[in-house]
A and B are shown apart, each in its own frame.
Chain A
């Protein structure tokens, strides 16, 4: 009686292990298949984000300079200064958002965090 129950138990655990192994397999395959899609979507978003940030900062700087010029009667000096400051602010915005994206999602390829060749042809 005792050997029989032992036998039963081992067969059950081996069944469970088998199931576990197959589940892991499916899970791995699924995760690998999903990854590239996710990245390409967020890359498109990132490109948009950075370009608008740069352009808008230059426009805001220019507009502020122009407005102050009209107000103070110092055409065209503050306008020129505003373009310069706007460009600087734009660069800073882009750098800052790149830093944040890098920190928020470390496996996104930006700067020196480029993916290895192995990662790219994983599928």
Chain B
């Protein structure tokens, strides 16, 4: 039995890949579960895409998820941002499926690695920067300097706005990674505690009921966190996309 609660986050190589400079392109357990997540999403929407006029249960699941993301994007960014719908949809379902698959025993949680969440966050923020500059030109940089302030205020406001902008991808990445890692460590610790108590003898074995109940509660909480974090990541992406369309706050 693996006693170290951090063992579950170990990256293991499945088969060798080429080495390009410092980058090792081997196929790992993390890559495997990312592929499984993507595959599961394709299967899910393949099953739900029926195109009947009166949707059955499966079809309405697909339609509701489409509507859910479309409404979220419309409400937070505005109807003109609808071209970013595919991105938000993809990122939401990738994180959701990765988180939920990670809840299975023996599964690897890809979102518990900051390398993965940081890559997602960097994509998001690069999208904002590139789309913002393409749409507004150099005027886009006015998001760092809101107009109509006395000159002296800009010395304070501009650095603050820049720091706040740089912290966005970092908060996105850290929040998802920390939530998933903390939850899985907690789960493992409680589970190990049960094994220790039972192993010690009959008296402490009875006391094991407490961590058993605790583990059950944490599993429920973790399912909530898995869905919530996917939602938070997606809605914050929508919020940040506001900067593409509303340069003057």
CB contact between B224 and one of A41, A85, A89, A90 (< 8 Å): that residue:
A41
Residue of B nearest to A51 (CB): B175
Q: Are the C-beta atoms of A93 and B167 separated by less than 8 Å?
A: yes
| B179 contacts A by Cβ under 8 Å | yes
Total residue contacts A-B, CB cutoff 8 A? 62
| B143 contacts A by Cβ under 8 Å | no
Beta-carbon contacts under 8 Å, B178-236 to A = 178-179, 224-225, 228-229, 231-232, 236
Q: Is the interface of A mostly helix, strand, loop or mixed?
A: helix
A44 CA to B183 CA, complexed, in Å = 14
Q: Are the C-beta atoms of A100 and B239 separated by less than 8 Å?
A: yes
| B11 contacts A by Cβ under 8 Å | no
| A92 contacts B by Cβ under 8 Å | yes
Q: Are the C-beta atoms of A56 and B167 separated by less than 8 Å?
A: yes
Number of chain B residues close to chain A: CB under 8 A: 24
Knowing A52-B175, A60-B166, A89-B167, say if A44 contacts B160 (CB, 8 Å).
no
Digitize A30-65: 1 where CB-to-B-CB distance is under 8 Å, 0 elsewhere. 000000000001101100110011001101110010
A44 CA to B221 CA, complexed, in Å = 11
Interface centre among B75, B156, B171, B236 (most CB of A within 10 A): B171
Q: Are the C-beta atoms of B175 and A89 separated by less than 8 Å?
A: no
Residue of B nearest to A53 (CB): B171
Residue of A nearest to B178 (CB): A52
Chain A residues, CB < 8 A from B166: 60, 64
Q: Are the C-beta atoms of B159 and A85 separated by less than 8 Å?
A: yes
Knowing A56-B170, A104-B75, say if A93 contacts B164 (CB, 8 Å).
yes
Knowing A49-B232, A56-B174, say if A85 contacts B167 (CB, 8 Å).
no
CB contact between A89 and one of B76, B160, B174 (< 8 Å): that residue:
B160
Smallest beta-carbon distance B77→chain A, Å? 11
A100 CA to B236 CA, complexed, in Å = 10
A104 CA to B231 CA, complexed, in Å = 14
Interface centre among A48, A56, A64 (most CB of B within 10 A): A56
| B42 contacts A by Cβ under 8 Å | no
Chain B residues, CB < 8 A from A53: 167, 171
| B133 contacts A by Cβ under 8 Å | no
Digitize B112-129: 1 where CB-to-A-CB distance is under 8 Å, 0 elsewhere. 000000000000000000
Smallest beta-carbon distance A32→chain B, Å? 20
A88 CA to B158 CA, complexed, in Å = 12
A104 CA to B166 CA, complexed, in Å = 24
A89 CA to B161 CA, complexed, in Å = 7
Knowing A100-B239, A104-B76, say if A52 contacts B159 (CB, 8 Å).
no
A100 CA to B75 CA, complexed, in Å = 11
Chain B residues, CB < 8 A from A89: 159-161, 163-164, 167
A61 CA to B166 CA, complexed, in Å = 9
Chain B residues, CB < 8 A from A85: 156, 159-160, 163
Smallest beta-carbon distance A30→chain B, Å? 17
CB contact between A92 and one of B160, B178, B228, B232 (< 8 Å): that residue:
B160
Residues of chain B whose beta carbon lies under 8 Å from any beta carbon of chain A = 75-76, 156, 159-161, 163-164, 166-167, 170-171, 174-175, 178-179, 224-225, 228-229, 231-232, 236, 239
* Pairs across A and B, CB under 8 Å, 13 listed: A41-B224, A45-B229, A45-B232, A49-B232, A52-B174, A56-B170, A56-B171, A59-B167, A61-B163, A64-B163, A89-B160, A92-B164, A104-B75
Known A85-B160, A104-B75; further 5 A-B contacts with Cβ < 8 A? A44-B224, A52-B171, A59-B167, A59-B170, A93-B167
